[in-house]
Amino acid sequence: MAGRRVVVTGIGTINPLGNSIEEYFTNLENGVSAASEISHFDASKFRSHIACEVKNYDWSKYFDRKEVRKYDPYAQWAMVSAEEALRDAGIVDNDEINRERVGVIWASGTGGTTTFYEESKGYVEGNFTPRFSPFFVPRMVADLAAGFISIKYGFMGPNYATVSACASSNHAMIDALNLIRWGKAEVIVTGGSEASINEPGVGSFCAMQALSTRNDDPQHASRPFDKDRDGFVIGEGGGALIFEELEHALARGAKIYCEVVGGGMSADAYHMTAPHPDGKGAMMAMREALHDAGLQPEDVDYINAHGTSTNLGDVAEIKAIQGLFGEHAYKLNISSTKSMTGHLLGGTAAIEALACVMAISRGVIPPTINVEEVDPEIDPKLNLTLGVAQHREVRCALSNTFGFGGHNSTIIFRKM
């Protein structure tokens, strides 16, 4: 697509594998599983007792007691991730940045479900006077994370949320890419966050039989592409990227990780939760992203697969990859980092975009762990980066995310 070029100048995260970018990248490279028994609440009443939780998090390091009352955990993850990314990009204390030209496009698939559950439960059980907290709505709604970030830093550019289930963060990043291309902003804070490891979050996915029940072996429960996979492991956290117009970044001497070159979107138009069995919509999203970037399939070196560890989804995505990439599919590295982080729902694409940044900037492909025997419906000649990280030059990395409702989104990053 013609237009201004967009680069990544800052990155930040808090997720099950780390409370900073460096900790996250180290554990990704080392193939660490973040899964364990749920500690946020007593999950014994449900079929699945496991999750990938954010660990060693102390809110008092980031917020004062009065301030934190305003923020659901999903918004806390957003603000912590954004803070790290903005400092990495050299923007927080930079008075030369025109804050009227800085936007925030943030994603969350469910928003403040913890707030909604706790407030509703408290009201029904009569634990407080018959009124809801005045912070109920701003803590609950999915758009307030973007609002909170803009308020904290005075960013007055485009500001909103994207909600498309597990495709949400890719949609946020694609919107950010296009808004900068169109001249609507010079810098956009983008990414996503989720905090759904709670009774309604886990209970609802258990009711759908979507979660792994490998309760006796949590660390090996998330096993994309494995023939014995039995569902995904729910995760939480967030990831932030600073997208910036190239000339603007060069003029201020910013560090540049990579270029954001294209995005593609499609719908399966098939089923409310199941993917198209042939991966038709997924293929369309990848093809559109390549077209948008002006690239050929042969230009891609790494695909961070959606790869949730569900029976239908993993096979459909591989079919889509092989259908689009043909013989080049055998030269690709493919991996699912959800084998380590679990599935962050609306926040998942953000931390997977960060994995692509790592692959490009450090020449390290994060592995797919926990695969003991590849599903017989998946071509064994494909390089699924099994078990251990692989080192190679990555010129171009593609990241897929797909959501309930048939939402498909693909974003592509390229080495500068």
Residues forming beta bridges with residue 52, ordered by sequence position: 235
Q: Residue 258, class by beta-carbon neighbours within 10 Å (0-12 exposed, 13-18 middle, 19+ buried)?
A: buried
DSSP assignment of 189-242: EEEEEE---SHHHHHHHHHTT-B---TT-GGG---TTBTT---B-BB-EEEEEE
CA neighbor of 17 nearest in space, from 239, 256, 200: 239
With vertex at residue 397, the alpha carbon angle to CA 390 and CA 339, rounded to the nearest 5 degrees, is 55
> Nearest 5°: phi and psi at 191?
145, -155
Q: Name the residue type at position 327.
A: E
CA distance linking residue 235 with residue 338, whole number of Å: 9
CA distance linking residue 25 with residue 18, whole number of Å: 8
Which of the residues 248, 276, 343, 407 is marked catalytic?
343
3-class DSSP state of 36: strand
Q: What pTM was computed for the model?
A: 0.96
Which of the residues 49, 220, 306, 407 is marked catalytic?
306
Cβ distance 112 to 161 under 8 Å? no
Give me the torsion for CA of 384, 268, 309, 386, rounded to 10°.
Answer: 0
CA distance linking residue 71 with residue 152, whole number of Å: 13
Return the H-helix or E-strand segment holding 51.
strand 50-51
Which of the residues 166, 258, 356, 396 is marked catalytic?
166
CA distance linking residue 276 with residue 224, whole number of Å: 18
Is 343 part of the annotated catalytic residue set? yes
**Overall residue count recorded for the chain in this entry:** 416
Is the Cα dihedral 178, 184, 185, 189 positive or negative?
A: negative
What are the tokens at 13?
Answer: 């995260």
Is 166 part of the annotated catalytic residue set? yes
pLDDT per residue of the chain (416 residues) written in tens, 0 to 9: 457 999 999 999 999 999 999 999 999 999 999 999 999 999 999 999 999 999 999 999 999 998 898 999 999 999 999 999 999 999 999 999 999 999 999 999 999 999 999 888 888 887 666 678 888 898 999 999 999 999 999 999 999 999 999 999 999 999 999 999 999 999 999 999 999 999 999 999 999 999 999 999 999 999 999 999 999 999 999 999 999 999 999 999 999 999 999 999 999 888 988 878 888 999 999 999 999 999 999 999 999 999 999 989 999 999 999 999 999 999 999 999 999 999 999 999 999 999 999 999 999 999 999 999 999 999 999 999 999 999 999 999 999 999 988 899 999 999 99
Cβ distance 317 to 402 under 8 Å? yes
3-class DSSP state of 141: coil
Looking up tokens 């309604």 gives 200
Distances (CA, A) of 204 to 128, 176, 233, 346, 381: 26, 31, 13, 16, 37
Q: Name the residue type at position 170.
A: N
